[in-house]
């Protein structure tokens, strides 16, 4: 009994520590099937008090955002509609607004943050030329062709390109393009470009670490952006100048999703849909594989269920691939999956 009690205390202590790292998590299990309103988004994606934000979940007459029932693994999920002819986040003349938007100043700012979510492009989705997906940003959160001239802001969203190709879409002080730089997700054993597959659930995870600032006003080129696609490291950048000033941190989550681009050549020819689930933002590692793998037969306690379901950025992230991108003196501490957690976590 003493041994069991000790293990329980360890798990409880570990879970408490893990929960402290989570900035927010949303799995939509608190919602019923039906429209997803701005009020619901404000409750699920709470913003820092007194800071400007916006919630645009009632676009296109309130028909763009709904909660729907998915399979047993995912349960309730957010379904966003990208109407026929939509381009961009706003209504413009006869052109409808795509999907929905949440610009959420976070309750904490940090030097390092992780963001993860599950995403499924429904069967028949038209990728056309590309579109935006959620990610992290900081400072002025530059987007939309407003590129930084000094390091006072940046953004690291995801984009789908033609045929579902996945890229990181980066705004930062040294970017080469006016409308953000593409960084292809093409690491891994085969070094092939990663693609979203309609009808399949994918898990995307991005880690951002701010660059150091040796001289105030001139940042060092050692900022990190790493991304995982279905558990495999797909992007590994470590030479980015995201800031020139030490007080600039990672401080916003930007659920920004639409086709575009800014003209009709980006628009879908019919209504298309994307499903989202298991949003997590954390200051420490979060699962890079499926967020809801289920609980093993060994000890299905509520604590363990919380850890393994990815509600708290459990220590089952990982660094894999050819290079770990560790800073000097930084210790690898992330595990890839439940098996590694069970084998290693209980030995600590």
- Is a pLDDT exceeding 80 seen at residue 209? yes
What pLDDT does residue 2 have? 43
Which residues lie below 8 Å from residue 174, measured CB to CB, with a gap of 6+? 221, 240, 241
> What is this structure's pTM?
0.80
Greater pLDDT, 259 or 95: 259
What percent of the chain lies above the pLDDT cut of 70?
A: 77
What integer pLDDT is reported at residue 90 of this predicted model? 85
CB hemisphere CA count around 318 (13 angstroms): 21
Q: Percent of the chain scored above 90 by pLDDT?
A: 68
Look at 6 and 96; give whichever has higher pLDDT: 96
Task: Please tell me the distance from the alpha carbon of residue 178 to that of residue 155, in angstroms, as a whole number.
Answer: 14
Is the pLDDT higher at 193 or at 7? 193
Closest by Cα among 130, 323, 117, 327 to 206: 117
Least-confidence region, from 67-81, 187-201, 225-239, 306-320: 306-320
Over 90: is that where the pLDDT of 251 sits?
yes
**What backbone phi and psi angles, to 5 degrees, belong to 8?**
-60, -40
Q: What is the pLDDT of residue 58?
A: 94
Q: Which two tokens stand for residue 142?
A: 């530059």
Q: Which residue has the tokens 């645009």?
A: 56
Per-residue pLDDT tens for 139-186? 999 999 888 889 999 999 999 999 999 999 999 999 999 899 999 999
Has residue 55 got a pLDDT over 60? yes
What are the C-alpha distances in Å from 154 to residues 88, 101, 178, 252? 20, 18, 13, 10
CA 180 to chain CA centroid, Å, is: 18
Residues pairing with 63 in the sheet: none
Ramachandran sector of residue 291 (left: φ over 0; alpha: ψ -120 to 50; beta: rest): alpha
User: What is the secondary structure of 312-332 as a DSSP string?
Assistant: T--S-----SS---PPTTPPP
Provide mean pLDDT across the span 240-246: 97
The pLDDT of residue 8? 45
Residue 333 predicted with pLDDT over 80: no
The stretch 274-303 carries a mean pLDDT of 67
Does the CA dihedral 196-25-132-73 come out positive or negative? positive
Q: 317: closest CA among 291, 305, 335, 331?
A: 335
Measured from the Cβ of residue 222, the count of other Cβ atoms closer than 10 Å reads 17
| pLDDT at position 19 | 57
Nearest partner of 259 among 143, 131, 159, 85, judged by Cα: 131
In tens, the pLDDT along 4-46 reads: 444 444 444 444 445 569 999 999 999 999 999 999 999 999 9
Range of the domain at 140: 2-347
Predicted confidence at residue 244, as pLDDT, reads 96
pLDDT at position 149 = 86
The total number of structural domains in the chain stands at 1
- Range with the lowest mean pLDDT among 27-41, 251-265, 291-305? 291-305
pLDDT at 317: 33
* CATH number for 12: 2.60.120.200
pLDDT at 191: 83
pLDDT of residue 298 exceeding 70: no
Strands 250-256 and 201-209: unpaired
Locus of tokens 């595990």: 335
Average pLDDT in the chain: 82
- Average pLDDT, integer, range 297-320: 30
| Alpha-carbon 105 to chain mean position | 15
Beta bridge partners of 104: 253
**DSSP element (H, E) containing 14:** helix 2-21
- Give backbone dihedrals phi and psi of 221, rounded to 5 degrees, phi first: -95, 70
- Contacts of 98 by beta carbon, 8 Å cutoff, 6+ apart: 59, 64, 82, 83, 86, 87, 88, 89, 131, 257, 258, 259, 260
- pLDDT > 90? residue 194: yes
Query: Is the Cα dihedral 131, 273, 337, 285 positive or negative?
Result: positive
Torsion angles phi and psi, residue 302, rounded to 5: -60, -35
Query: Between 291 and 280, where is the model more confident?
Result: 280
Greatest mean pLDDT among 72-86, 136-150, 299-313, 316-330 = 72-86
Cα dist. 132→49, 118, 210 in Å? 27, 15, 22
């Amino acid at each position: 009994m003493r041994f069991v009690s000790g293990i329980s205390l360890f798990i409880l202590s570990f879970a408490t520590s893990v929960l402290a790292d989570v900035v927010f998590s949303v799995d939509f299990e608190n919602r019923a099937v039906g429209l997803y309103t701005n009020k619901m988004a404000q409750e699920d994606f709470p913003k820092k008090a007194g800071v400007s934000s916006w919630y645009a979940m009632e676009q296109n007459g309130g028909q763009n955002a709904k909660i729907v029932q998915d399979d047993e693994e995912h349960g309730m999920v957010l379904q966003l509609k990208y109407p026929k002819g939509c381009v961009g986040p706003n209504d413009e003349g006869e052109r409808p607004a795509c999907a929905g938007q949440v610009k959420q100043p976070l309750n904490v700012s940090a030097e390092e943050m992780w963001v993860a979510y599950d995403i499924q492009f429904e069967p028949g989705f038209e990728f056309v030329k590309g579109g935006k997906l959620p990610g992290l940003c900081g400072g002025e959160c530059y987007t939309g062709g407003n590129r930084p001239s000094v390091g006072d802001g940046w953004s690291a969203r995801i984009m789908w390109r033609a045929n579902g190709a996945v890229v990181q879409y980066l705004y930062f002080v040294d970017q080469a393009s006016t409308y953000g730089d593409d960084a292809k997700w093409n690491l891994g054993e085969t070094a092939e470009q990663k693609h979203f597959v309609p009808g399949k659930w994918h898990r995307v995870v991005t880690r951002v670490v701010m660059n150091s600032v040796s001289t105030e006003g001139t940042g060092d080129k050692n900022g990190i952006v790493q991304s995982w696609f279905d558990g495999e490291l797909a992007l590994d950048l470590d030479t980015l100048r995201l800031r020139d000033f030490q007080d600039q941190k990672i401080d916003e989550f930007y659920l920004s999703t639409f086709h575009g681009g800014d003209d009709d050549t980006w628009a879908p020819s019919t209504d298309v849909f994307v499903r989202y689930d298991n949003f997590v933002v954390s200051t420490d590692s979060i699962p890079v594989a499926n967020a809801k793998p289920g609980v093993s037969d060994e000890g299905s306690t509520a604590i363990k269920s919380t850890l393994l379901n990815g509600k708290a950025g459990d220590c089952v992230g990982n660094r894999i691939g050819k290079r770990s991108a560790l800073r000097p003196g930084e210790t690898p501490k992330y595990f890839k999956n439940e098996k590694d957690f069970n084998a290693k976590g209980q030995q600590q």
